[in-house]
A and B are shown apart, each in its own frame.
Chain A
Amino acid sequence: MSKLKYLGKRLLMSVPVVWLGASMTWFIIFMGPVDPASRLLSEGQTRNPAAYQAAQIQLGLNQPPLQHYLDWMSNLATFDLGRTWLLYQGSNVNALILDFLPRTLWLGFWSVLIAVCIGVPLGFYAGMRSNTASDYVASMGGIVWRAMPNFWLAIMLLTFLGTAYTLSVGGFALTFDWQTIGIGLDAISGSPDLSRLHTVEGFLAATKKVFPAALVLGSASMGNEMRIGRTAVLEVRNEDYIDLAKAKGVSKRALVWKHILRNALVPLVPIITSEAFLLIGGSVLVETVFGINGIGNLFYQAARSGDLPLVGTLMYVFILMIVGINLVQDLLYTIIDPRVGLEGN
């Protein structure tokens, strides 16, 4: 019961967070130094009072600020997100987000998966063999990998994959060309085709397309997960219950898998989910470099072209995503760690 209560409390706490975040966004965009209405118009139109007036009325800026704020917030709350102004002119924002979001989610899904599948085992490996040469190599690799800027790594990876390599050993030539290996792609960068996900070939093609981008996007989290996995294993190994299990004669296999690794997973859960904001923030740069038409790229283009209302709406979507991920984190926490929600009672 106390777990449900804990989750309920977290859910309740997330409401003011979303409200405050959306209010700050509204303030920055509509009360900031830039007049959103004039940003939407071209040079010539700004001098035309009729066009300016029309833009103001469309945005609702002719109303008093409080009224405008209430309107804007209620529109967000009911997901009545209006139409775009400059970018994909006049299209429905809801439809636009529904069109762009799946690509970002697909990219995010793979970047989390790749980071977890490489980072955590590597960290555990380093932790089980602490202070050996392989530990140092793995740890150093993780630290440097983590310090590389995503956008730079993306450029380098694209260049590396864009060339075909031929390795010839004694008349036997081995060619590596990312574009044609396995499933052929029309181009190494660009948006993945998500319409054929249900077929095996379509699934593999879409995965291969986002794989380099996901690898780059997950790089920071991978390094973090490795470090924390390593420390967690080191800490758990020194716990008294491990000694007790050893004394009881628990087999080495059960000791490692059941007693050490499972407990070492606990501190990793918040790390994996709290890096959601790294993924979402990084998606702007990675999607721009890889030419993926995702929601991060959309946000960047909206900001560049001056479509401030769209920027605000997208920020609201990002806030919802992050708060949602935090709630998932709490849910996972209660499943993995039975102590959560019991402390304090």
Chain B
Amino acid sequence: MARAHETTSETVLPTESPAALWAGIGALLFVVEAGAFFDFFVGIVADFLAATPLPGAGLVNGVENAVERIPTLLSRELIPNGGYWNGSRWVGTFLGLRPGVAWGIRVLLVYLYAFAFAGWAVLGYRLYRREYRTADWTPRDDMVDRFRGHKWGVFGLVVVFMFVTMAVFAPTLGPTTVDKNMRDSYSYEINYWNGEAGEVQTTLVGEANLASQSRGDTADRVLPMGYDDFGRFHPFGTMPSGQDLFTFIASGSRISLLIGLLSVGLSVSIATTLALIAAYYKGRIDLGLVLASDSVMAMPQLLLLIMLTTVLAGTWLGGIYSGGFVLALIFAGTGWTYMWRSLRGPALQVSERQWIDAAKSFGQRPRTIMRKHMLPYITGYLLIYGSMTLGGAIISIAGLSFLGLGISAPTPEWGRAINLGQDYVATGSWHISLIPGLLITIVVTGFNALGDGVRDAIDPQSDAAEEGGAAGRGGGA
């Protein structure tokens, strides 16, 4: 077998050391976009620290400024779309193209880059599996192969990946930035072609926004893929305030994803720990946990969220990340029950196995037994429920901000866009509510499909996710 593998490596990669080549490609891919990655992570830390009384906010701001200076290949500076028409041609856009085309090229390149990165990761895995791993086959290979053949699951993975790319590259993807277009719109100027005067004039972004509001059937409204009177391109049209909807949504995807990841991470760890404890000790501890989780579940999740966000809104905790952090904590505090319910069964099954008895008779400590001999058998289920719960969290966050709770007002969030546009759905400005809703549907379907795919890959016989089906629905929002 080993011989056959050597020959394949020679035909696929014309080099002595495929790993070095692979690492080189990876480093190259990383370096060209290092600025965007650092910006993503430093931005999160800065947002968290900005609201806490902890020291270090100044230092992080310094780092943030430094990070912004790291040259990045796919940036809005290299492929700008914010130019103006000077009467005969476009000035300031990429290669003098129309702003829409320039923006399209940038989005295309960002997604090409993201898929290249994913392809690089897949290549690395296959290289490792074929060339470097000592074992020819492990049970996990079958799972991966089953997942690759699961079209629905792969579709989910692609949707989720595109959503994550949108969140990570949000500042690059938008035709303008949150800062320039929304938060500080009266500090920035733009040039535009005034057709009546026949000359290029200057105005404030805030003023331009006022003249491109989408409120019903007004002549000023900007529909998806349209230009406003100032030569600015709006891929998803404008909001009732005249701000760019795409920028709003891209920025909102970031906060949805972060809260989702944080809350799912927390509830997964709580649920796993408690499931292992319940399955190992059984008896009274199990009963106590059943009662505790039943009591939390008896309070409808969405109502508990509303109650807790109201109570915690004024505290310093509620200020971190525009209220997102406390939202994630509440999600974790209420969401672990559903996950625990679903994990308890598999954990109990594992605890009945003979190797647990053997480990006990060896005198291994309970913690070691749980971690080494029980945990590996339930990690697969964690992936399934994690994926579905993330989808549910996105719906819940949107539902809360639709009601005006949760993420506080100026920070973009998908649910708020739906709320802002709900009066105009029947009018000419139908796009404001419709587009975010469609996106939520697609993303949540993607997370559910990914969960389905993982389930079928891990255990084709089980219908694990069926019981946890409600988890993917975010408490009924």
- Known A-B contacts A300-B403, A308-B311; the reply to A147 vs B303 at CB < 8 A is no
Convert B443-477 into 0s and 1s, putting 1 for each residue whose CB lies closer than 8 angstroms to a CB of A. 01100110000000000000100100110110111
Interfacial chain B residues near A300, Cβ < 8 Å: 306, 403
- Known A-B contacts A220-B473, A277-B300, A322-B298; the reply to A303 vs B306 at CB < 8 A is yes
A227 to B466, CA, bound (A): 8
CB proximity to B under 8 Å, residues A16-49: 16-18, 20-21, 24-25, 28-29, 32-34
Q: Say yes or no for B49: interface residue by CB 8 A criterion.
A: no
Interfacial chain A residues near B444, Cβ < 8 Å: 147, 149
Q: Say yes or no: B314 contacts A315, CB within 8 Å.
A: no
- B307 (CB) vs chain A CBs: closest residue: A311
Q: Say yes or no: A224 contacts B469, CB within 8 Å.
A: yes
For A277, give its contact among B292, B315, B449, B476 (CB under 8 Å). B476
For A149, give its contact among B301, B434, B477 (CB under 8 Å). B477
- A322 (CB) vs chain B CBs: closest residue: B298
Q: Say yes or no: A163 contacts B426, CB within 8 Å.
A: yes
Q: Say yes or no for B45: interface residue by CB 8 A criterion.
A: no
Q: Say yes or no for A228: interface residue by CB 8 A criterion.
A: yes
Q: Say yes or no: A299 contacts B303, CB within 8 Å.
A: yes
Q: Say yes or no: B311 contacts A29, CB within 8 Å.
A: yes
Q: Say yes or no: B470 contacts A159, CB within 8 Å.
A: no
User: Which of B121-129, B161-169, B391-399 is the contact stretch?
Assistant: B391-399
- Distance in angstroms from B315 CB to nearest chain A CB is 5
A28 to B298, CA, bound (A): 15
Interfacial chain A residues near B291, Cβ < 8 Å: 13, 16-17, 20
Q: Say yes or no: B395 contacts A315, CB within 8 Å.
A: no
Convert B430-451 into 0s and 1s, putting 1 for each residue whose CB lies closer than 8 angstroms to a CB of A. 0001101100111011001100
- Distance in angstroms from B65 CB to nearest chain A CB is 34
Interfacial chain B residues near A33, Cβ < 8 Å: 311-312, 314-315
A280 to B415, CA, bound (A): 20
Q: Say yes or no for A177: interface residue by CB 8 A criterion.
A: no
- Distance in angstroms from A27 CB to nearest chain B CB is 10
- Distance in angstroms from A149 CB to nearest chain B CB is 5
Q: Say yes or no for A65: interface residue by CB 8 A criterion.
A: no
- A154 (CB) vs chain B CBs: closest residue: B422
- Known A-B contacts A285-B402, A288-B403; the reply to A277 vs B301 at CB < 8 A is yes
Q: Say yes or no for B308: interface residue by CB 8 A criterion.
A: yes
- Known A-B contacts A231-B466, A280-B476; the reply to A147 vs B391 at CB < 8 A is yes
- B302 (CB) vs chain A CBs: closest residue: A281
Q: Say yes or no for A212: interface residue by CB 8 A criterion.
A: no
Q: Say yes or no: B311 contacts A34, CB within 8 Å.
A: yes
Q: Say yes or no: B437 contacts A156, CB within 8 Å.
A: yes
Q: Say yes or no: A149 contacts B298, CB within 8 Å.
A: no
Q: Say yes or no: B299 contacts A318, CB within 8 Å.
A: yes
Q: Say yes or no: B295 contacts A21, CB within 8 Å.
A: yes
- Distance in angstroms from B247 CB to nearest chain A CB is 20
Q: Say yes or no: B300 contacts A280, CB within 8 Å.
A: yes
- Distance in angstroms from B357 CB to nearest chain A CB is 22
CB proximity to B under 8 Å, residues A313-328: 315, 318-319, 322-323
Q: Say yes or no for B297: interface residue by CB 8 A criterion.
A: yes
A304 to B403, CA, bound (A): 10
CB proximity to A under 8 Å, residues B340-396: 391, 395
A306 to B299, CA, bound (A): 19
- Distance in angstroms from B309 CB to nearest chain A CB is 8
Q: Which of B291, B292, B303, B470 has the most CB of A within 10 A?
A: B303
Q: Say yes or no for A146: interface residue by CB 8 A criterion.
A: yes
Q: Say yes or no: B440 contacts A152, CB within 8 Å.
A: yes
A284 to B308, CA, bound (A): 15
A261 to B39, CA, bound (A): 56
A19 to B297, CA, bound (A): 13
Q: Say yes or no for B418: interface residue by CB 8 A criterion.
A: yes
Q: Say yes or no for B310: interface residue by CB 8 A criterion.
A: yes
A219 to B176, CA, bound (A): 37
Q: Which of A152, A155, A284 has the most CB of B within 10 A?
A: A152
Q: Say yes or no for B142: interface residue by CB 8 A criterion.
A: no
Q: Say yes or no for A274: interface residue by CB 8 A criterion.
A: yes
CB proximity to B under 8 Å, residues A140-174: 143-144, 146-153, 155-156, 159, 162-163
Interfacial chain A residues near B477, Cβ < 8 Å: 149-151, 281-282, 285
Interfacial chain A residues near B391, Cβ < 8 Å: 147
Q: Say yes or no: B403 contacts A285, CB within 8 Å.
A: yes
Convert A268-312 into 0s and 1s, putting 1 for each residue whose CB lies closer than 8 angstroms to a CB of B. 000100110111111111001100000010011001101010010
Interfacial chain A residues near B442, Cβ < 8 Å: 147
- A323 (CB) vs chain B CBs: closest residue: B298
Q: Say yes or no: A285 contacts B399, CB within 8 Å.
A: yes
- Distance in angstroms from A278 CB to nearest chain B CB is 4
Q: Say yes or no for B294: interface residue by CB 8 A criterion.
A: yes
Q: Say yes or no: A149 contacts B302, CB within 8 Å.
A: no
A299 to B294, CA, bound (A): 22
Q: Which of A28, A282, A283, A284 has the most CB of B within 10 A?
A: A284
Q: Say yes or no for B296: interface residue by CB 8 A criterion.
A: yes
Binding site for A on B (CB under 8 A): 291-292, 294-304, 306-308, 310-312, 314-315, 391, 395, 398-399, 402-405, 415, 418, 422, 425-426, 433-434, 436-437, 440-442, 444-445, 448-449, 463, 466, 469-470, 472-473, 475-477
Sample of 12 further A-B pairs with CB below 8 A, known A149-B440, A155-B425, A224-B469: A17-B291, A21-B295, A28-B307, A33-B312, A147-B445, A224-B473, A278-B473, A280-B303, A280-B476, A303-B307, A318-B303, A319-B299
Binding site for B on A (CB under 8 A): 13, 16-18, 20-21, 24-25, 28-29, 32-34, 143-144, 146-153, 155-156, 159, 162-163, 217, 220, 224, 227-228, 231, 271, 274-275, 277-285, 288-289, 296, 299-300, 303-304, 306, 308, 311, 315, 318-319, 322-323
The 9 A-B pairs at the shortest CB distance, nearest first, are namely A282-B476, A281-B476, A281-B302, A152-B437, A20-B295, A278-B476, A147-B444, A281-B300, A159-B425
